[in-house]
Each structure stands twice: as structure tokens, then as C-alpha cells.
Amino acid sequence: MTELLLDLPKVELHCHLEGSMSAATVKELASRHRPDWSHVWSGDIPDHFSFTDFPDFGRQYLFGLSLLRDSEDLAIVTDDLAATLAAQNVAYVELTSTAYSHLHVGGMAREVYRDGLDEGRRRAAARGVHVSWVIDIPRDLEMPDQTDTIDYLESGLTPDGLVGIGLGGYEVGFPAEPYAEHFARARALGLHSVPHAGETEGADSVRQAVDALGAERLGHGVRVLEDPELTERVADAGILCEVCPTSNALLGVVDTIEDHPLARMIDSGLRVSINTDDPGWFDTDLMTELSIATTLGIDADTHLRMQRDALAASYASSPVRRRIAEELDAYERAHS
Ligand SMILES: [Zn+2]
């Protein structure tokens, strides 16, 4: 199965640039900037990341973020991720970046941010990995009365290949509905609506994402299953759920990975794809997540169908979409 999965042309829709930094990348950036990390780790930066609880995760995540200071840093992170994606036969990725963290918190100039993402995207393309961008509003940092992210999106100083607006961060206590106006403005720019919902909150969060934000895909969406009627609605509308098994287990959305409702989601008629979320910090990659899906009952035909569904629900350009569809057809012929 592993060889089959490696051979399978792949599409990833839910991966955070700022969460993708591997330990090797963090070390590379640390050697550029020589920061102090004694508040995060005693001794050297570890070879693999792990964390004991959410605050521990938060400390490491913020340290990684603090290393993204200029265009070259952003290009390095994108390119390092692209190298691992290329090795796993991932042809297309939609990467989410939280502009707010860099522009508002980090004080980076809009042009510097844009240039870094553009250069990273060029380097990824040279490796055969096509990147599109989603820029998200961090709901637990940027309150609904703030307009930093949407103002930035409207400024035009955005990267090439920008296709969507997301809503990230902790759902509990930060509902989606108050961001309806932000999403309306982003959609008026031609951006697609791909908020997180149904991860740390239940079905009502999904309902708000669909009704108030016009969600075309759901980041996670696993907890939509708590409401059978809404599940049917999401399934009928063809709204794809971007499922991230390891992330769900590490952040307590499911008790253990064995409890993950992936198979139940598919049986309920939901369209799903498999994703990594924060591959660096969760020390995972797409091959690992696909292998986990196999242990959760996903067979080879369903793996192929999930890749076709991910491609159909992606915002890849027509030539990229055509090429990957042909690769998937060739894979099917070779393995049937
Ligand atoms: Zn996410």
C-alpha cells in the first residue's frame, strides 16, 4: 500500500505555511537570525518537535513565527516545504498563510510579505509543486471589529496565486458569523471562502461557516457529524471537508487516532480530502496522514477518489488541473 500511495499523484488543500516549518527549517532560520530560544527549549533545538500541552505548542509555534523576518525567510519556508511535497509526489498545494501575524504582529511591510510568498511559490514551481495561497483571519487574534486582513487583501499587494480567504484559530468563544462582512468583501475580490469549522466547536460552527461565510470547503469539518441534518446538507452541497487526522488527535478533537470518524464521514456521503494542517509542528507529512487513513479503513479506490475530489474542490488553474487529472487517469490505468 505504501508504494501505491507514494505513486498516487496528490493534492493537498489544508496546510499552514507558518505551521509547516520542520525542525530542520527552524534550525536553518535560527542560524540566519541567531535568536535566543532558552524560553522554549533547554539546550539545542530538537531534531523533531513534540509538545506536552497547548501552551507548550504555542511557545514553539510563536518562536518559529518570530524567525520569519524578511522575504527570504518566507521563501525558505515555502521552498523547504515544497521539497518534502515533491518527494511525496504532491503536485499541487493550497497553502494558508496568516498575513496578520507578519504584517500586524511582526510589523513586516506588505511588499516584503508579498515578495517572500511570490519567491517561495517560484522556487516550489521549480520543484514541480504548484502553490496557490489562502490568507486567513486568525479569529482568536483579529477581532471582528478589526479589518487588518481584509484591508490588506483589498490593497492589491497580495501574492500571485491567491485564491481564497480562510478563518483560522481557536473556534471556542470566537464564532464565525461576526466575520460575515470580511468574507463578503473578500468574495467580492473573487476569493473563495474556505474557513475552518467543526474542529474545536460543533455543528453550529459549521452552520455559521456555511450560512454566514458562504463556505465552499470546510477546514476540518469533522464535528458536522454531530448534526445529521446539517451533514446531509453539507454532503448535498458538495462542500468538501479538509480532514487532518494527526492534528485532530494532537489537539483533542478526537480522543485517539483510532477514534477518528473519517470512514463515518465518507459513509455519510461527505466529500473529504486528507491533509497535514501543521506538518512541521505535528511532525507529520501527507504520506503519513494517508497511511493513517488506510488504518482507518480507506482502501485504494477511495484514496484515488479522495485525490480526484480534492482536485475538483481545489482552485488550481485550468492547465494544472488538467495535468493532474491526466496523471490520476494514468495512475488508475497502471494500477487497475
Ligand atoms: Zn488548519
pLDDT at 58 over 90: no
Name the amino acid, one letter, at 208.
Q
Annotated catalytic residues are 199
All domains of the chain in start order, with CATH: 2-335 (3.20.20.140)
**Confidence at residue 171, expressed as pLDDT on a 0 to 100 scale:** 84
Determine the distance separating the centroid of ligand 1 and the alpha carbon of 15, expressed in angstroms: 7
What pLDDT digit, counting tens, does each position of 275-324 carry?
999 999 999 999 999 999 999 999 999 999 999 999 999 999 999 999 99
CA 262, CA 260: separation in Å to the nearest integer?
Answer: 6
Q: What is the pLDDT of residue 51?
A: 82
C-alpha 197 to ligand 1 mean position (Å) = 9
Q: What are the tens digits of pLDDT across the range 131-179?
A: 999 999 999 999 999 999 999 999 999 999 999 999 998 888 899 999 9
Distance 122 CA to ligand 1 centre (A): 24
**What band does 50 get if pLDDT is binned at 50, 70 and 90?**
confident
Q: Is 57 helix (H, G, I), strand (E, B) or coil?
A: helix
Residue 107 CA, ligand 1 centroid: distance in Å:
23
For residue 178, give the DSSP letter: G
Structure confidence at residue 55 (pLDDT):
79
Nearest-angstrom CA–CA distance, 9 and 96 = 21
Give me the sheet containing 192-193, strands edge to edge. Answer: 10-16, 90-97, 130-138, 162-168, 192-193
Planar angle of CA 77, 314, 116, nearest 5 degrees: 25
pLDDT score, position 231: 98
- Residue 219 grid coordinates: 477546514
Closest CA to 313 of 113, 182, 163, 114: 163
Work out the average pLDDT over 115-119. 98
Q: Give the CA distances from residue 102 to residues 155, 181, 199, 245, 306, in Å, rounded to whole numbers and listed in that order.
A: 16, 23, 25, 28, 33
C-alpha cell at 44: 539545542
CA 217 to chain centre: 12
Distance 277 CA to ligand 1 centre (A): 5
- Give the dihedral sign, CA 42/47/51/56: positive
Q: Which residues have C-beta under 5 Å from ligand 1, the single-atom ion?
A: 277
Q: How far is the CA of 241 from the centre of ligand 1 (A)?
A: 12
What pLDDT does residue 64 have?
94
pLDDT of residue 285: 97
Residue 110 CA to ligand 1 centre (angstroms): 23
